């Protein structure tokens, strides 16, 4: 007959410490039912659930006490009944979810709010870890970012209410909170599709064209209403393009050269390409700008609207079918099929009403710096840090990128 004990050890970390503890247990042929270890600021926390033959129990306890004291470790031994252990096993098979906190910095008020909601929803935190690199004490002027990930177990009491609370405190506490199922696809996405205007690049390019054409205020007003979903995208798009009639085509290249990438865009695309992802732009904007980005960033595919040019000037028409919400959704499906992956392995990122249909199809959908109505509809939202924050939502740590 064997007995079960929970062994908790803590103390200053140093190389070989875990090996020495394991040697003590191995000497008595102790079984291991579970194990976990973490290190924060050179302080080790090691926990083992061990299975000990009763005839060896006294020797194991004696050696642990003597040797861990010599190693300057704090030791706590807790007996666990076999009934408690058997009751614990099925609990570990409950639903598992990932809660991710993102922001310029993570503070205790934010953590208190998130963990309180998790607790109120009947979920238990199994693991908490940092995905971002450690922050220096001196202020980071290059766009600091912080990310903490919680692995939680159980079933939410009210999923809709929990998501609503997360969205509410995100605005109140200047952070983003993502909640999703911890399944096999979480770290195995293969395709990433992105909107262009106000997502991959700063601002709406059509508004810049309108300023160059002398119709800036008129077009900007229509753009704003279309982005909020107040106007049909295709109809409003034709209306805006018509106002561009007469703009010299030479201005397109000039404006393309002046377009600014969104914070984190370069790092995101570089990382995705290095890891072998298929990356595409699905844009309700224009091909000339999408192709400029494709060349600059190494993006695999672009789908956008082609402006009609007549006698060196914009005619006020588009050549191709308009890339509206349904077209984006169809293109997302086509790319996934061509790559031989399911929609669960697709990441979609956008900011406007024209993106909602494609966002609804992707395994990971992210509303980036979007209006509240879009954030409520999308699976996840990201507003407080740059576009490379998407990597955290894909489960990628800073140190994994830095080691490449």
Q: Residue 15 has which token pair?
A: 């190389």
**176-181 vs 146-153, strand pairing mode:** unpaired
Across 161-170, average pLDDT: 94
Q: Catalytic positions, please?
A: 195, 197
Q: Residue 120 has which token pair?
A: 């109120």
Could you give the domains of the chain? Answer: 2-90 (3.30.70.260), 94-181 (3.30.70.260), 191-402 (3.40.50.1000)
Quick: pLDDT tens for 332-354: 999 999 999 999 999 999 999 99
Rounded Cα distance, 175 and 110, in Å: 8
Residues 6+ apart with CB under 8 A from 36: 46, 47
H-run or E-run covering 39: strand 31-40
The secondary structure of residue 201, as a DSSP letter, is B
Quick check: 126 and 152 in contact, CB under 8 A? Answer: yes
The pLDDT of residue 141:
60
**Does residue 91 register a pLDDT over 80?**
no
The pLDDT of residue 140:
64
Rounded Cα distance, 193 and 281, in Å: 6
Quick check: 118 and 125 in contact, CB under 8 A? Answer: yes
**Does residue 275 register a pLDDT over 50?**
yes
Quick: pLDDT tens for 208-231: 999 999 999 999 899 888 877 788
The pLDDT of residue 404:
45
Across 290-294, average pLDDT: 97
Burial class (CB in 10 A: 0-12, 13-18, 19+), 215: buried
The pLDDT of residue 90:
82
Question: Between 63 and 139, where is the model more confident?
Answer: 63
Closest Cα to residue 237, out of 345, 138, 320? Answer: 320
Rounded Cα distance, 366 and 379, in Å: 6
**Does residue 1 register a pLDDT over 80?**
no
CB atoms within 10 A of CB 366: 29
């Amino acid at each position: 007959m064997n007995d079960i004990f929970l062994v908790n050890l803590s103390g200053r970390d140093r190389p070989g410490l875990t090996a020495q503890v394991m040697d003590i247990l191995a000497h008595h042929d102790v079984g291991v039912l579970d194990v976990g270890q973490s290190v924060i600021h050179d302080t080790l926390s090691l926990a083992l659930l061990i299975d000990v033959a009763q005839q060896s129990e006294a020797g194991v306890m004696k050696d642990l006490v003597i040797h861990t004291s010599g190693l300057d470790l704090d030791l706590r031994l807790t007996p666990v009944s076999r009934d408690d252990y058997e009751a614990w096993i099925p609990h570990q098979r409950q639903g598992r979810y990932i809660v991710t906190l993102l922001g310029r910095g993570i503070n205790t008020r934010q953590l208190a709010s998130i963990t309180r909601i998790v607790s109120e929803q009947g979920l238990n935190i199994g693991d908490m870890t940092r995905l971002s690199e450690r922050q220096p004490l001196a202020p980071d002027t290059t766009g600091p970012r912080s990310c903490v990930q919680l692995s939680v177990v159980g079933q939410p009491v009210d999923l809709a209410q929990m998501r609503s609370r997360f969205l509410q405190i995100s605005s109140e506490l200047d952070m983003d909170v993502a909640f999703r199922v911890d399944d096999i696809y979480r770290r195995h996405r293969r395709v990433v599709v992105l909107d262009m205007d106000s997502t991959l690049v700063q601002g709406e390019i059509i508004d810049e064209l309108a300023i160059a054409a002398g119709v800036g205020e008129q077009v900007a007003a229509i753009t704003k209403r279309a982005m909020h979903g107040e106007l049909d995208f295709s109809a409003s798009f034709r209306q805006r393009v018509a106002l561009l009639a007469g703009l010299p085509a030479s201005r397109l290249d000039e404006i393309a050269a002046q377009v600014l990438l969104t914070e984190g865009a370069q790092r995101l695309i570089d990382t995705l390409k290095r890891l072998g992802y298929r990356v595409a732009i699905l844009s309700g904007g224009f091909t000339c700008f999408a192709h400029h980005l494709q060349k600059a960033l190494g993006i695999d595919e672009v789908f956008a609207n082609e402006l009609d040019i007549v006698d060196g000037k914009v005619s006020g028409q588009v050549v191709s079918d308009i890339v509206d919400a349904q077209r984006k959704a169809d293109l997302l499906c086509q790319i996934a099929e061509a790559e031989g992956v399911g929609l669960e392995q697709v990441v979609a990122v956008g900011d406007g009403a024209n993106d909602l249909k494609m966002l609804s199809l992707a395994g990971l959908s992210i509303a980036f710096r979007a209006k509240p109505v879009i954030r409520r509809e999308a699976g996840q939202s990201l507003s407080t840090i740059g576009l490379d924050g998407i990597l955290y939502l894909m489960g990628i740590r800073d140190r994994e990128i830095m080691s490449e």
